[in-house]
Amino acid sequence: MPMVDIDWLKDHVEVPDDLTYEQLAKDLVHVGLEEEEIHASQVTGPIVVGYVVDATPEPQHNGKIINWCHVDVGEAYNAIDEQGNNVPRGIVCGAPNMAAGEKVVVTLPGAVLPGDFRIEPRKTYGHVSDGMCASERELGLGDDHNGIILLRHYGFSPKEYEALKPGDDAMHLLHLDQPLLEINITPDRGYAFSYRGVAREYHHSTGAAYTDPVKELAAKAPVTAGLDPRSVTDIEVSIEDDNPIHGVAGCDRYHARVIKGFDPEAHTPNWMRRRLIRAGMRSISLAVDVTNYVMLDLGQPMHAYDLDKIEAPIVVRRARQDEHLVTLDGNDHALNPEDLLITDSPDGKRGSRVLGLAGVMGGLYGEVTAETKNVLLEAAHFDQVSIARSARRHKIPSEASRRFERGVDCKLQPAASQLASELLERYGNGEASQHPTDVNRTGRPKAIAFKASEVARVAGLDTETNTISDILTDIGCSMAGGGNGVFSVTPPTWRPDITEPCDLVEEVARLVGYDEIPSIVPPAPVEGAVGLDADQRHSRQVADELAEYGLVETLSYPFVGDEDFRNFSYDPSEIAKVSVEIANPLAADRPYLRRSLLLTLAQTVQRNLRRGIENIALYEIGHVYLWDPNAPAIPAFEGGKLPTDDQLAALDAGLPDQPKHVAGLLTGMAEQSDWMNAGRAVDWSDAVEAVQRIASRLGATIALEQLAAQDAPGQWHPGRVATVTSEGKAVGLVGELHPHVDEQLGLPEHSAAFELDLDALFATLDAKPVQARPISAFPPVRQDLAFTVPAALPAARLQNAIEQAVGDKLEGITLFDVFTGDQLGEGMKSLAFAVIFRAADRTLDSSDSEALRKAIIESTTPLGAQLRA
Amino acid sequence: MAFDAQAVSDAVAEGIEKIDKASSLDELKTIKTQFVGSGSVMTQASKAIGSLPADQKKDAGKLMGKLRADFGRAFGTKQEQVRAEEEARELAAQTVDMTLPLSRKPLGARHPIAKVMEDIEDLFVSMGWQVSQGPEVESEWYNFDALNFGPDHPARQMQDTFYVKGNQSKDAAGFVGSNMVMRTQTSSDQVRALISRGVPLYIVSPGRVFRTDELDATHTPVFHQCEALAVDKHLTMADLKGVLDKFAVAMFGPEAKSRLRPSYFPFTEPSAELDLWFPDKKGGPGWIEWGGCGMVNPNVLRSAGIDPDIYTGFAFGMGVERTLLLRHDINDMHDLVEGDVRFSEQFVMGE
């Protein structure tokens, strides 16, 4: 994001002399330009101006010639000789451009240069060098390390140069002591990618006097409008867009201007280099630096061509199939028919040679080089969408594309070209043409019908109409009408983001100040449902119940991969087919989204175990993602209007199912062994109890249907896994993990788990209020019933049969003994229940008990059960 | 046997003396048998009264009544005392060390992220709002287009989006894509809720969102936001400020307040960054960035078929993790996302 240098900002707006970067940041954030960082100076002094009194070349054995110099660094910093006289410092300097009589930059002992380079007196080449004459690179001012800085060549006027005295602070002189403010520009404020724009915002924030540099430049620029059509301009330019995007031409303005007789040897003035480098750009050559400078200053990306390599006409057109371009960075790009190109016409073949990807990056051919004498400047205006797509398609987000895709002022081009021409004339001895070509198809921004009352309706501000008008005028709008408080507002060309009344409301609100808006709490609406809905309430109940049962809640990332699949004994190639896959995963080995919470819950359990924590019992409530390989592709629709019902259905039809699940994973000891307990290891029963508690809490009637070994999924212990059903619908699984899974995950054996589909479970719940049964005051009858049953008969089936037989006279039933033994016979077991009978309307007598017993026998005999007592 | 007043008085006196010395219920029982049992001096004396001459009977009866009462009183009092002592001894023997550590049914813990989202829901529900939830794998239309992020909007590329592979389609800019993403913001729920619930609408939408940021001390690719959206007639930015102030107080205490700074989001206009005055900020109270907000952009309302000339609305969103980091002085995002039980156990069932 852009850097703001107060020294540069001053060119366009009056800033107080004592403005600090901290204050500048505060002023700008007030109007919406956020501070990213204030970059502190990387250099500490003393660094001073030195006058080279003498420089004696001393050839060395290694063939190098060093200079033994005496440098006057002013009274305060000079050396004191044995007689106590203030004398120049002795400094060794190896730079070839060192000479007596030069004014140089001396870093003195105690100074620290970028890279924590500390300056100390140092013995070298037989002398003690008491400081160092610095190059640009050593000071972090640029790349130049061919010699030391000679201030004579550093862009000072003769008078200023004369005034430089030994001992003057060079830190300040070279802006080395200056911090820099880096700001964030939101995507709507393309114009703030320039000093012109930031200066205007500073004015908006503080009221400081602002001068739009474009006004003066535009006035000086040669007239191009209204000329005789036969008049000759610099170069023929033709815009031929046969494939506009959304009906918008890729280029609606192309301004071209020739600079002749340019001196390719000319150097970039140091003030410009300094500003570019502080803005984070490299200094390349005068022509390129000038185009970059104009871009940073005014916001207009420019391009400089070697005129002698270009053959007219220049054609701006879309790419054709199979065209290629090697961009400046050396990369080859296969072009797309949506890419907008700048081309020229060698050998009379119109538009046949690609010069660059318009507004994004130039090609290798046609660039200005060290030999260029005649320069062709391009200042154009391109469609935001076209540039955004090309930059995205070719992955070259350049400084130019960043500005074009946010919107560049469509009236700026002649002024930008004028500034560049002036700079190339002044510093490159060129001569700018007075007949630039300007193909201009831009229109006036659309006027917005704006009711001043919108400010109150949307922002809640009671700003006066006159103030509203003044503010909008100040941001550059032209205001018409105003009767009845309705204006026709034409936004300035540098604000293409302003298209609707709400945009104008924002401008008014931010300049009046958001702090001026009152604070009101809106009353609750009366219509509609209130409170949490049933699923939301139930989800909380499940979460609280499990935590109260002793499990710890966790929220794991949903990403899984082959390793997780293998750990859970899934076939990775099979499960991948039905898993949602991320196109750009962070971890290449976990590109899928989980179909089961247990996979990612297990990762969390493992992390805890690795950290030496034992007896981990975790749960998670979260979504799983079920990919349907046959899901229809999701269509794209534009925003800003309600899709039809069919279109809305099509949007959702392609999305994967994403049910909400709950899962728990319990490992190690279920009960700790301590002074009162022997301790108990986790097994299936802990998971089943967790599920039952969830069901009780929700008021769900669940049942377990234990799976036969051959039907058990591979993740589960074949003898210890059951389907959980509610109202006959399968809603999940519970049991122990398969020993192989425990082993693969490094979990203790008999680790227990459950996973329930909460959406499915909640759907089985009856939302009706509980219907209370009357409480009987008649006495209960207690009986113990012991059955001999086949070992394979689930206890639940026997209990169910008893319950059926007793009907509404059953008050309670408890399985109090399970037992197998020789006396029962092969393949048999004993199940003993304590049952309580009670009637609602009378005391049960022995004949009632007898009848109930009989009914129980009838109901349980078909299961192979035999009542023993 | 003759009635001997002296003897029976002596016997009772002896009995009372023995009672005084007794220290157990067994001893008392023996004393009772000895002094008022069938063979005791007292029983015999009572029987002997019958053989006394009539004029002596009255005095003898009187004496016996007094002796019996004296004995009974002494016995009863002592018996009560001994019983109490015995019970005290028994109970003393049952003394336990109640400071022994107990862990029979230890509580587990809720995760603070889940819990704080419930707290936020509760605040809004208490104001009469509803809680809404949308899908995490979302179509680009709801996540971007409907929210005024056109296909070529620069902000759309700035969101660090996780794209989902799918059955091929072309996106709105003509690029190949599934038109499906991991939602980058809970704002994706705005237009869903507007379409499915209509207006007036007051919803809070907490949930998980995804961005391609590597996990480090301050970032996580999977995090949580709370989105709030109100659309009604006559809502202004003043209502937004009021709700934000209330929300700030609910999350950060009575001295907290909010401040708005101009900013930009495609789905709001005017837009603002939301700063929070945080009284407990490390190094002294100060403003910190908390979220983003603004007045719902008319194009978002139009995406849901709602007339922006009649309805206005406001929306805001804030990061749940950021709220927790600030409020609980958590210095490293790793602690919030790794699921180490030691972290969650500090919060138990929530604050």
pLDDT exceeds cutoff 80 at A580: yes
The Cα–Cα gap between A50 and A151 comes to 10
Contacts of B275 (CB under 8 A, 6+ apart): B258, B259, B260, B261, B287, B288, B289, B290
B271–chain A Cβ distance below 8 A for any pair: yes
SS3 (DSSP) at B61? helix
Is pLDDT above 90 for A390?
yes
Q: pLDDT confidence of A433, banded at 50, 70, 90?
A: very high
Question: Is A138 within 8 Å of A117 (Cβ atoms)?
Answer: yes
The separation between the first and the last C-alpha atoms of chain A, rounded to the nearest angstrom, is 87
Say if A653 falls within a structural domain: no
How many domains, in total, are found in chain A?
6
Q: Which pLDDT value is given to residue A151?
A: 84
**Pairing status of strand A781-790 against strand A752-757:** unpaired
- Domain assignment present for residue B251? The answer is yes
pLDDT level of residue B156 (50, 70, 90 thresholds):
confident
Structural domain contains residue B179: yes
Q: Assess whether pLDDT exceeds 70 at residue B171.
A: no
Are B27 and B166 found together in one domain?
Answer: no
Taking a C-beta distance cutoff of 8 angstroms, is the pair A174, A270 a contact?
A: no
Confidence of residue A436 (pLDDT cuts 50, 70, 90): very high
Contact A286/A317 with Cβ under 8 angstroms?
Answer: no
- The average pLDDT across A584-598 equals 96
A82 shares a domain with A146: yes
Answer yes or no: do B88 and B164 share one domain. no
The range of the structural domain enclosing residue B79 comes to 5-93
Answer yes or no: do A685 and A789 share one domain.
no
Q: What would the mean pLDDT of A424-451 be, rounded to a whole number?
A: 94
Average pLDDT over residues A831-845: 93
Site of tokens 């101006």: A49
Shared domain check, B30 and B126: no
Average pLDDT over residues A725-732: 96
Domain boundary among B63, B93, B123: B93
Shared domain check, B158 and B87: no
- Is residue A817 located within the same domain as residue A845? yes
pLDDT at B173: 66
Q: Is residue B42 part of a domain?
A: yes
CB contact under 8 A, B270 and A406: no
- Is residue A638 a known part of a binding site? no
A188 is annotated as contributing to ligand binding: no
**Per-residue tokens: B61:** 């009866």
| Confidence tier at A164 by pLDDT (50, 70, 90) | confident
> Over chain B, what is the mean pLDDT?
90
Does one domain contain both B117 and B89? no
- Of A157, A189, A211, at which residue does a domain stop? A211
Element (H or E) spanning A448, and its range? strand A448-451
Per-residue pLDDT, B174: 67
Give pLDDT tens digits for A657-677.
999 999 999 999 999 888 888
Is some CB atom of chain A closer than 8 A to the CB atom of B123? no
pLDDT tens for residues A634-648? Answer: 999 989 999 999 999
A548 closest CB neighbour out of B107, B138, B180: B107
Q: Is residue B204 part of a domain?
A: yes
Distance CA A593, CA B184 (A): 16
pLDDT of residue B141: 95
User: Strands, E, within chain B: which ranges?
Assistant: 130-131, 137-139, 169-170, 176-177, 180-182, 201-210, 222-232, 257-265, 268-278, 286-296, 312-319
What residues of A are in contact with residue B169 (Cβ under 8 Å)? Answer: 633-636
Helix (H, G, I), strand (E, B) or coil at A111: coil
pLDDT at A845: 92
pLDDT tens by residue, B265-308? 999 999 999 998 888 777 788 888 889 999 999 999 999 999 99
The answer to whether residue A638 neighbours chain B at the CB level (below 8 Å) is yes
A361 or A128: which leads in pLDDT: A361
How confident is the model at residue B96, as a pLDDT? 92
Q: Lowest mean pLDDT: which of A217-226, A710-719, B1-10, B205-214? A: B1-10
Instruction: Give the domain range for residue A110.
Output: 47-173
Sign of CA dihedral A347, A349, A350, A354: negative
How would you label A822-857 residue by residue, b for 16+ Cβ within 10 Å and e otherwise?
Answer: eebeeebbbbbbebebbbeeeebeeeeeeebbebbe
Residues B247 and B305 in one domain: yes
Read off the pLDDT band of A188 (50, 70, 90): confident
Identify from B186, B269, B297, B310 which residue to disrupt to test chain A contact, counting A C-beta atoms within 10 A and taking the largest count: B269
A503 among the known binding-site residues? yes
- A641 close to B (CB below 8 A): yes
What residues of B are in contact with residue A552 (Cβ under 8 Å)? Answer: 108-109, 111, 341, 344-345
- pLDDT confidence band for A526 (50 / 70 / 90): low
CA distance A431 to chain B (A): 39
**Strand partners for B139:** B180
Question: Cβ of A677 and B221 within 8 Å?
Answer: no
Q: What pLDDT was estimated at residue B1?
A: 66
Q: What is the CATH number of the domain that holds A186?
A: 3.30.56.10
Q: What is the DSSP string of B92-147?
A: HHT---TTS---SS---B--HHHHHHHHHHHHHHHTT-EE----SEEEHHHHTGGG
Number of domains composing chain B:
2
pLDDT of residue A760 exceeding 70, the answer is yes
Q: Å from B214 to nearest chain A CA?
A: 7
Give, in order, the Cα–Cα distances in Å from A781 to each of A810, A839, A860, A868, A869.
10, 9, 20, 19, 16
Q: What mean pLDDT comes out for the span A646-654?
A: 95
Cα gap B161→B177, rounded to integer Å: 13
pLDDT of residue A143: 67
Do residues A271 and A155 both lie within one domain? Answer: no
Chain A residues whose beta carbon lies within 8 Å of the beta carbon of residue B292: none
Whether B109 and A553 lie within 8 Å, measured CB to CB: yes
Domain match, B298 and B151 both: yes
Asked whether the beta carbons of residue A654 and residue B155 sit closer than 8 angstroms, the reply is no
**Domain final position from A516, A543, A563:** A516
DSSP state of B224: E
Please compute the mean of the pLDDT values over residues B183-190 and round it to a whole number: 94
Whole-angstrom distance between the N-terminal and C-terminal Cα of chain B? Answer: 87
State phi, psi for A449 to the nearest 5 degrees: -80, 120
Tell me which DSSP letter residue A765 carries: S
- pLDDT number for residue A208: 95
What is the distance in angstroms between the Cα of A405 and the nearest Cα belonging to chain B? 7
Per-residue pLDDT tens digits for B56-91: 888 888 888 999 999 999 999 999 999 999 999 999
Question: Residues A276, A245: one domain?
Answer: yes
- Residue A94's pLDDT is what? 83
Answer yes or no: do A392 and A248 share one domain: yes
Q: Is A378 annotated as a binding residue?
A: no
| CATH code for the domain of B155 | 3.30.930.10
Q: Which of A145, A173, A201 is the last residue of a domain?
A: A173
Q: Quick one: residue A635, left, alpha or beta (phi over 0 = left, psi -120 to 50 = alpha)?
A: beta
pLDDT band, residue A250 (cuts 50/70/90):
very high
Q: Write down the residue that tokens 């500490």 correspond to.
A: A44
| Mean pLDDT, range A167-179, rounded to an integer | 83
Contact by Cβ (8 Å): A441, A492: no
Q: Specify the pLDDT at position A531.
A: 87
Assigned domain for B212 exists? yes
Specify the range with the lowest mean pLDDT, choosing from A282-286, A302-306, A361-365: A282-286
Q: Do A514 and B131 touch (CB under 8 A)?
A: no
Q: What is the pLDDT of residue A626?
A: 97
Task: Give yes or no for a cis peptide into A46 (omega within 30° of 0).
Answer: yes
Mean pLDDT of B129-141: 95
Residues A527-555: what's their mean pLDDT? 93
Flag whether residue B38 sits within 8 Å of chain A, measured between CB atoms: no
pLDDT tier at B147, thresholds 50, 70, 90: very high
Q: Using a pLDDT cut of 90, give the percent of chain A over it.
A: 70
Residue A638 lies in a domain: no
pLDDT at A509 over 80: yes
Do B135 and B11 share a structural domain? no
Distances, alpha carbon A328 to alpha carbons A332, A356, A363, A364, A755, in Å: 10, 9, 5, 5, 57
Same domain, B116 and B76: no
Amino acid (1-letter code) at residue A115: G
Q: Are residues B36 and B135 in the same domain?
A: no
Classify residue B102: in a domain, yes or no.
no
Residues B89 and B116 in one domain: no
* ipTM metric: 0.88
Helix (H) or strand (E) holding A774: none
Q: Are residues A15 and A126 in the same domain?
A: no
Which residues of chain B make contact with A610, given a CB cutoff of 8 A? none
User: A298-307, A509-518, B56-65: lowest mean pLDDT where?
Assistant: B56-65
User: Are residues B255 and B227 both part of a single domain?
Assistant: yes
* Whether residue A595 is found in the same domain as residue A715: yes
Q: Are residues A166 and A249 in the same domain?
A: no
* Judgement on whether residues A719 and A587 belong to the same structural domain of the protein: yes
Report, as an integer, the average pLDDT of A423-441.
94
Please judge whether A651 and B141 are an interchain contact, meaning their C-beta atoms are less than 8 angstroms apart: yes
Predicted model pTM = 0.84
